[in-house]
Amino acid sequence: MSTNSPEQSRKNLNRFLAPRSIAVIGASDRPGSLGLRTMRNLEAYSGRLFPVSRRLEKIGDHRCYASMDDLPDAPDCAILAVPAAAVEAEVEACARRGVGGCVVFASGYGELDDAECAAAQKRLRDLAGEAGMRLLGPNTTGFANFALGAHAGFAEFPGGVADGGKGIGLVSQSGALGLALAQSAEHGTGISHVLTCGNSADIEVADLVSFLTDQPEVGAIALTFEGINSPERLIEAVRNATASGKPVAICRVGVTPAGASAVRWHTGTNPHVDYPWDENLAQAGASIVRGAERLVETAAFLAKTADLARPSAAPAVAILSSSGGSGILAADGATAAGVPLAVFSDETSALLAQELPSFASPRNPCDATAQATANPPMVTRCADILLSDPAVDCLVLPWGKAWDSGQFGALSDLVEAHGKPICLVWMSQWLEGPGADAAEATKRLCVFRSIAGCFSALATWRKADSA
């Protein structure tokens, strides 16, 4: 952690992660190099870019500088795409120049069971802290702030949000896992930031959660981590985020003895295996996620429902399906997750019977039969009836076929009208089939790729003081 005051550390962090200027130390034109990959990732950057290379005079349209001392101004962010042997001297040069913060890609520090490597990491932290400069890494892939086009890393993180919209702020201690999760943007999820911190010599996940809490383009935070310095700092950051209207979904890794042992060789951080993580994170308002594959979809659900009233207990759900089998699976999933099925009023059942074919079921789960595919507006009308029932807190739609029925917008409007969420479970194994992107990008539809993932999220969707 930085040796600055908390207020100054936060100011420096904001300067670094929302940079108006970036230097790339080790900028290169060599194919496959980290320096070239980083420069390409910064092609959409809206601020000033300073390539630093002793060998090159220009990279593309950008003049190169021989050293940090040659730059016209001290950049907010410096990216060190250099070997470990050169890192310490460059960090010292950045500190001397007044850089806001450094990204250190190089590995071979605290993650190794070696006293000299641990001492080298401490020296980097101390150099940065003494200068009031923040340090991301070492052993990190960097970060991306898509609002600025500041893709300050060598991994090709996809992302971005629609104009005026809000996205998921993704925090991952592991760079490769962060990239895997960020690729949810390829099927329509809005990703505003991807922040990875590796060994966390200075900046750790608690700092990154605090940064995202203040960003207006962030609708929710998705966090996966393995080890940190202080659990209490993270709990405080999560509590502040949820209190500020930024819900947080968390998947902790390294929860088994084998996993916790592997943390030592990955980032060299402390997993705090004896700390009551689930209890304290839930009390802070976080949604606990089992399995990284559910993390982003849970965060997207929280973002799309952030302004909706949460029930005091697990929400009573209505299930509406065009397949009896899918409806049964959903009922099983609800029961397994401890999510109750709503009991429809007589009026609701009567109204459903008027809409459904005579051989359909107006009970819960409601089987609209294959007629739903022939008459898609019937599904929307039934959804309206179900959401009108005071006993229903949420509607779950198992979506059995990869297709766009033309009703996604109308279903989203029902969420606005009733103030209750609609969860569309993409049952088709054609994961990127027709309609997948459209459903994901619809403003209010919450899309899940499994029944278990859907009901896991719903099980945590309750008032924070009732968790």
pLDDT in tens, 290-303: 999 999 999 999 99
For residues 423 and 261, the model is more confident at 423
Q: Exposed/middle/buried for 371, CB within 10 Å: 0-12, 13-18, 19+?
A: middle
Contact 258, 271 (CB under 8 A): no
- Which residue, among 385, 376, 395, 358, has the nearest Cα to 322 in the 3D structure? 376
pLDDT in tens, 226-268: 989 899 999 999 999 999 999 999 999 988 889 888 887 788 8
Q: How many CA within 13 A on the CB side of residue 429?
A: 0
Q: Where are the domains of the chain?
A: 6-136, 142-304, 317-466
Percent of the chain with pLDDT over 90: 83
Contact 385, 351 (CB under 8 A): yes
pLDDT in tens, 320-369: 998 889 999 999 999 999 999 999 999 999 999 999 988 888 899 999 88
Q: How is residue 286 annotated by DSSP?
A: P
Residue 2 is predicted with a pLDDT of: 47
pLDDT in tens, 92-139: 999 999 999 999 999 999 999 899 999 999 999 999 999 999 999 999
Residue 1 is predicted with a pLDDT of: 45
Strand 150-153 to 167-172 pairing:
unpaired
Q: For the domain made up of 317-466, give the CATH fold.
A: Rossmann fold (3.40.50)
Residue 32 is predicted with a pLDDT of: 94
CATH superfamily placement of domain 6-136: NAD(P)-binding Rossmann-like Domain (3.40.50.720)
Average pLDDT over the chain, rounded to an integer: 93
- Which residue, among 420, 464, 462, 10, has the nearest Cα to 243 in the 3D structure? 464
Residue 463 is predicted with a pLDDT of: 75
Q: Exposed/middle/buried for 231, CB within 10 Å: 0-12, 13-18, 19+?
A: middle
Residue 249 is predicted with a pLDDT of: 97
Residue 10 is predicted with a pLDDT of: 83
Residue 4 is predicted with a pLDDT of: 66
Q: For the domain made up of 142-304, give the CATH fold.
A: Rossmann fold (3.40.50)
Domains 6-136 and 142-304 share a fold: yes
For residues 325 and 3, the model is more confident at 325
Q: How many CB atoms lie within 10 A of CB 311?
A: 15
Q: What gap in Å lies between CA 253 and CA 291, rounded to an integer?
A: 9
Q: What gap in Å lies between CA 104 and CA 90, rounded to an integer?
A: 10
Does the structure show a pLDDT above 50 at 461? yes
Per-residue pLDDT, averaged over 36-54, amounts to 96
Percent of the chain with pLDDT over 70: 98
What is the reported pTM? 0.93
Strand 150-153: give its sheet, edge to edge.
150-153, 142-145, 191-196, 167-172, 218-225, 248-252, 287-288
Does the structure show a pLDDT above 80 at 270? yes
Q: What gap in Å lies between CA 276 and CA 244, rounded to an integer?
A: 24
Contact 215, 192 (CB under 8 A): yes
Q: What gap in Å lies between CA 175 and CA 427, rounded to an integer?
A: 30
Q: How many CB atoms lie within 10 A of CB 245?
A: 12
Residue 464 is predicted with a pLDDT of: 63
Q: What gap in Å lies between CA 462 and CA 231, rounded to an integer?
A: 24
Residue 465 is predicted with a pLDDT of: 56
